[in-house]
Amino acid sequence: MVRFGIVGCGHMGKGHTRSIWDGQVPGAVLTAVCDTCPTALKWAKENDSNIKTFDTATAMFDSGEIDAVLIATPHYDHPIIAMEAMDKKIHVITEKPAGVYTKNVREMNEKAAKAGVVFAIMYQQRTHPMYRKMREMVQNGELGEIKRTSWLITDWYRPQAYYDNGGWRATWEGEGGGVLINQCPHNLDLWQWICGMPKRVTAFAHNGKWHNIEVEDDVTAYVEYENGATGIFVTTTADCPGNNRFEVMGDLGKLVCEHDQLVHYKLKVSEREFNRTNTEMFGSPKAERIVIDCPGDFPQHPEVLRAFVRKINGEGELVACGEEGINGLTISNAMHLSSWLGKTVELPLDEDLYLAELEKKFK
């Protein structure tokens, strides 16, 4: 059995705790929880009188009670706690985002590479059959070369009451951002997982535009990829009802994922080839519309945990390697930085500049 400890018994931590208690993660047993809040520890003890409780991660790591840690603390602490666990040869699965700024996430990744432990990140949206299918089709070349990507992901509605609830939330010093760092890590990860990383980011992020918060709650971003493709990403927590429309346009057609449906517009010939050879002034390649069957369920967080346990036991692959958390975060950081500086930001990101600019925002 893999003995789990959880750091951070808030909303997400409690959810994961229940998944393990409910037997949704075969081969895992929850032996310890850690939280700075006694109420959270009391809650755990009431549900499992054998559980060990700790008020610091260090004490839990040093207790010998756990083989693996699930980190569900506020974002800034993710890499700090993860690195300590790695040093102590404890397997790590961290909640998203991997951290707030890529500089220490990179350090975490470097440590992970040396530590010889399993390192995973809770990107449960990667278990969605439609996103898996999109990735598979893009990777298989079914869309050809990508020309344009577009994600209108504005259905993260949050009212002021949400922001008024948590003290660390929606502050630069407590959370390190708004909709980009809290709601969008999944989308930013899936975007790059399916379409690849951009090379250049220009973003327009508005702080406290719709809510009484310090951080951004409305973002429009434009990106360019190495191959010349372009992309847009639009998000907010104030549109209602918002959109979740993810499109990938390729040389061989496009995929549109919206309204819980994945539609493939498939060209008979490549557009680039058609463009070169066609002689009709108003000719265009013919497209077939196909609703793509995406079989399978959406096993979410428990599947990410199951894969993590399997990997620790030397079987199968992770849903998401922890090291990949830096990708979506890089895009997020680049969007912030572009917006703060009012200019286009090139990747690789200037990580020191990002951190310096972020720290300027601390009160």
List residues near its own copies by CB under 8 A.
147-148, 150, 152, 154, 157-162, 165, 202, 204, 206, 209-211, 218, 220, 222, 224, 228, 230, 232, 234, 236, 238-241, 243, 245, 247, 249, 253-254, 265, 267, 271, 274-276, 278-285, 287, 342, 344
Decide: helix, strand or coil at residue 15. Answer: helix
- Residue 276 or 360 having the CB closest to its own copies: 276
Q: What interhelical angle do 185-195 and 325-341 show, nearest 10?
A: 110
- Residue 104 or 182 having the CB closest to its own copies: 182
Point out which residues pair with 52 in neighbouring strands.
Answer: 32
Least Å distance between CB 349 and its own copies? 20
Question: How far is Cα 276 from Cα 237, in angstroms, rounded to an integer?
Answer: 44
C-alpha dist (Å) from residue 265 to 71, 145, 262, 286, 338: 41, 15, 10, 9, 34
- Residue 84 or 247 having the CB closest to its own copies: 247
Least Å distance between CB 221 and its own copies? 9
Least Å distance between CB 39 and its own copies? 18
- Residue 274 or 298 having the CB closest to its own copies: 274
Beta carbons of 114 and 219 less than 8 angstroms apart? no
- Residue 58 or 243 having the CB closest to its own copies: 243
Decide: helix, strand or coil at residue 272. Answer: helix
Decide: helix, strand or coil at residue 357. Answer: helix
- Residue 58 or 220 having the CB closest to its own copies: 220
Closest to 20 in 3D by CA, of 313, 322, 306: 306
- Residue 19 or 236 having the CB closest to its own copies: 236
- Residue 47 or 243 having the CB closest to its own copies: 243
Count the helix, strand and coil residues of the chain and give each as a percent rounded to the nearest 5.
Answer: 40, 25, 40
Least Å distance between CB 229 and its own copies? 10
Least Å distance between CB 337 and its own copies? 16
Decide: helix, strand or coil at residue 355. Answer: helix
| DSSP type of residue 321 | B
In three state form, how does the secondary structure of 160-224 look? HHHHHHCCCCCCCCCCCCCHHHHCCHHHHHHHHHHHCCCCEEEEEEEECCCCCCCCEEEEEEEEE
- Is the peptide bond preceding residue 302 cis, with omega within 30 degrees of 0? no
Least Å distance between CB 232 and its own copies? 6
Least Å distance between CB 346 and its own copies? 13
Phi then psi for residue 264, to 5 deg, are -110, 125
- Residue 116 or 228 having the CB closest to its own copies: 228
Beta carbons of 285 and 271 less than 8 angstroms apart? yes
Residues 140, 254, 186, CA angle at the centre, nearest 5°?
A: 75
Q: Which amino acid is at 11?
A: H
Least Å distance between CB 14 and its own copies? 15
Q: Which residue matches tokens 């069957």?
A: 293
Least Å distance between CB 240 and its own copies? 5
Least Å distance between CB 184 and its own copies? 16
- Residue 222 or 308 having the CB closest to its own copies: 222
